[in-house]
Structure 1
Amino acid sequence: MQQSQHTRRAALSKPGLTSLISALVCAGALGCAPAHAETTLYLANVGGSSQDLFQKQIIPPFEKAHDVKIVYVAGNSSDTLAKLQAQKGHEQINVAIMDDGPMYQAMQMGLCGPLQDAPVMKDLYPIAKLGPQAVGIGMVATGIGYNADAFKKAGLPAPDSWASLEDARYKGKLGVPPITNTYGLHALVMLARMNGGGEKNIDPGFKAMTTKVAPNVLSWAPTPGEMDSLMQSGDVIIAPYGSGRAVALQNTGFPLKFFYPKEGGVALQVGACAVAGSGQDAVAQQFIQYLLSADVQALQAKAVGFGPTNKTVKLTPDVAAKVPYGPEQVSKLVAMDWTTINQHRTEWTARWNRNVER
């Protein structure tokens, strides 16, 4: 991805026509300024609206302040994790931004270097401290979204629990993402917790999903875009949803009502880490600290619906209403045990495919 500065300098130092031309130019009246080797930072993050925000508003001020060039490498979290694994020992990405599940995998694989302490770290909610190597730079939360107009027309009461997915009144109108989608995985774990289990005992979740939820499901839509389409067509009227996706659908004028179930919404954090051995640790650490600043956190909340992980951030009421925000709301969010989940996810996925989506 990046030719090293050493290699470039070596190439330019070879005698020949290039050197002769340079010598003649430098002998002129204007002389030559010393060559400046600009630092380049490779940043891996998702595409779409986040890429647009970063490239237009977040990256340029940092580049100017730190005399650095940032190259944006777009890809979803699983793509970025795969790149980090493939590049191990020959690191090219310097800062990786991923959802918390893949980020925990990256930390377990030794792909992330230690985070440096900084004053801004004291401003974070405890839930944002993913580990010694990664930190949450924004959060959304998984809850449930439903078509308020369709519910009113059918005379259905507003749902308030994860158990709503088991309600037979939604038979043929329920959408549930598969376990390969984080929202579907969150729903499975919350059903397990409600029935005496959890990440370390997932059986109650599979039992509820297989016997009580699956009979109601019209579609196991694998992507948020497909679930949005099913909602907009009226085929699905209720489904597990992420707060950010809910805001995007609401912004189209669709009457989606989003809520955090009484058992708790599930925190889904976007984490950042400095890639171990990438050779740009100092500027990588500075960039991560910059992402945690109140100004950048406020930009993310407004533009892409990320709740701030920095508790000093002040949001306008209209923005605050659309994201996980404030100590009271954040304290009610449930954190997943990703270490356990990642140990069993392949096994759970096979079990899901075998028993749930039949």
Structure 2
Amino acid sequence: MSITLTRRAALLAGLAAPAFAPSLARAQRAGSVTTAIYPGAWEEAFRELVAPPLKRQHNIELEMQGLFAVDQIAKFAASRGAPPFDCFVLDPGPRITAIDRGMFEKFEVSKLTSRAALPGMLVDDWGVGCNAQVVGVAYNPKKLPKPTGYADLLKDPWVSRLGLTGFGTTFGTVSLIELAKVFGGSETNIEPALAELKKVLPKIAAVSSPAALPGLFQQGQCDVIYTNTQTVTTLKDRGVDIEFAVPSTGATAFFTTLHIAKGCENIENAYKYIDIVVGRAVQDALQKAPYNFVPVNTGVPLGAGLPMKSLAEMSSFNTHDWSKINPLRGGWIERFNREMAK
């Protein structure tokens, strides 16, 4: 039997469709949450360790968009009020940019069941920390003596085995700022670091992208780098000879944070997702190999190889004002790429 729509019926059907489609879309999204996530290890870790308990405990499907921090900001800015994901994951610089541009919903920590286990320094009106980062110097103890600080990296025997990277990552930026401070600079003046690096550039073993640096270290093409404890632990798990050294000027600390996108229609699911991520079970699992996150939940004992026994000790580590760094960082990246390429 065939059905022929009259012109009036077709018109009514067309008028009804727009009203029906959004309700259908909402129904389809009711059982899911979409998060931006760093590609690579983060995406793998969240697929393996976050998605299953979120589904098991709340019947919520975790959907992920693999995006680096700057791409998250750009994609949201282009969305014109229709957020492309429910949650951000960001390092300090992009986080400040997103706050300044009004990209986050106000964060209510009271909605997290694990709130009592989260240090106050990890929670504010805009989000919550999900991973602690500790930055210093890593070296191969079988090939080099332990460096005492950033200045040693530009001296023999370390400089000829140095793997150098620029301002494209948070750990690279803060390390070069700390190097600049040793020679009289500051978090807004990196000229002394660049000047000293130019003097020794012909001696430096490798100038690399941040993603390639661990591989170069593993292959023996460099034997000293500035990096975070997560990279050190991951390489050590692979059997690489590597140790973490706290510079004489102190280790540097920052946190990777989770945020709910402005205009998010899945707010309750977003809170449940974030609660799973910062909960004790997932934080404990993320701390183990191969991911080696530094946990933010105080119910999880810190693993070996970290330069602190508790998160509270991180309050004495070096930190930086990204509201001052952000306006300058683009120029720093361009200069480093132009002047330090080998």
Fold shared per TM-score above 0.5: yes
- Stretches of structure 1 that go unaligned for 5 or more consecutive residues are 12-34, 152-156
Q: Label 1:72 to 1:99 Cα distance change in 2 as closer, same or farther (>3 A).
A: same
1:286 is the counterpart of 2:272? yes
Structure 2, unaligned stretches of length 5 or more?
Answer: 1-17
1:26 matched residue in structure 2: none
Secondary structure at the counterpart of residue 80 of structure 1: helix
Give matches, 1:90-239, under 5 Å. 90-118=82-110, 120-129=114-123, 131-151=124-144, 157-211=145-199, 214-224=201-211, 226-239=212-225
Q: Does 1:82 align with 2:101?
A: no
Instruction: Identify which of 252, 269, 273 aligns with 2:255.
Output: 269
Q: Tell me the distance in 2 between the aligned counterparts of 1:349 and 1:10.
A: 45
1:107 is paired with a residue whose SS is helix
SS in 2 for 1:149: coil
1:250 aligns with 2:231: no
User: 1:71: how far off?
Assistant: 1.0
Matched length: 321
What are the within-5 Å matches in structure 2 for residues 45-84 of structure 1?
Answer: 45-84=37-76
Contact 2:142–2:241 under 8 Å retained in 1: yes
SS of structure 2 residue aligned to 1:287 = helix
Question: Can you list the C-alpha shifts for 1:214-239, whole angstroms capped at 9, x where unaligned?
Answer: 35422111033x22332233331111
Distance 1:160 1:344, change over 3 A: same
For the 8 Å contact 1:247–1:322, the answer to whether it is kept is: no
Give me the whole-angstrom Cα distance separating, in 2, the residues matched to 1:63 and 1:323.
35
Residue 333 in structure 1 maps to residue 326 in structure 2: no
CA distance in 2, matches of 1:94, 1:10: 18
Q: CA deviation at 1:9?
A: 4.8
Output one character per residue of 1:244-274: Cα deviation in whole Å (capped at 9) or x when no partner: 1111111111111122212122224221000
Mapped contact 1:192–1:201 kept (Cα < 8 A) = yes
The CA distance in 1 between the partners of 2:141 and 2:19, in whole Å, is 58
Segment drifting more, 249-258 vs 160-169: 160-169
What is the Cα deviation at residue 8 of structure 1?
6.0
| Structure 1 residue identity aligned to 2:284 | A
1:257 maps to amino acid: E
1:351 is paired with a residue whose SS is helix
For residues 77 and 302 of structure 1, the distance between their equivalents in structure 2, rounded to whole angstroms, comes to 24
**Is the 1:146–1:256 contact (alpha carbons within 8 Å) kept by the matching residues of 2?**
yes
Aligned partners of 1:331, 1:37: CA distance in 2, in Å? 40
Given the alignment of the two structures, is residue 343 of structure 1 paired with residue 327 of structure 2, yes or no? yes
Deviation (angstroms), 1:353: 3.4
Contact 1:44 1:73 in 2 (8 A): yes
Q: Is the 8 A contact 2:75 2:84 kept in 1?
A: no
Q: Residue type matched to 1:321 in 2?
A: G
TM-score (norm: length of structure 2): 0.83
Q: CA deviation at 1:127?
A: 4.1
Matched, 1:7 2:21: yes
Identity across matched positions, percent: 23
Aligned counterpart, 1:32: none
**Structure 1 residues 233, 37: CA separation in 2 closer, same or farther (over 3 Å shift)?**
closer
CA drift at 1:285: 2.4
Aligned letter for 1:227? L
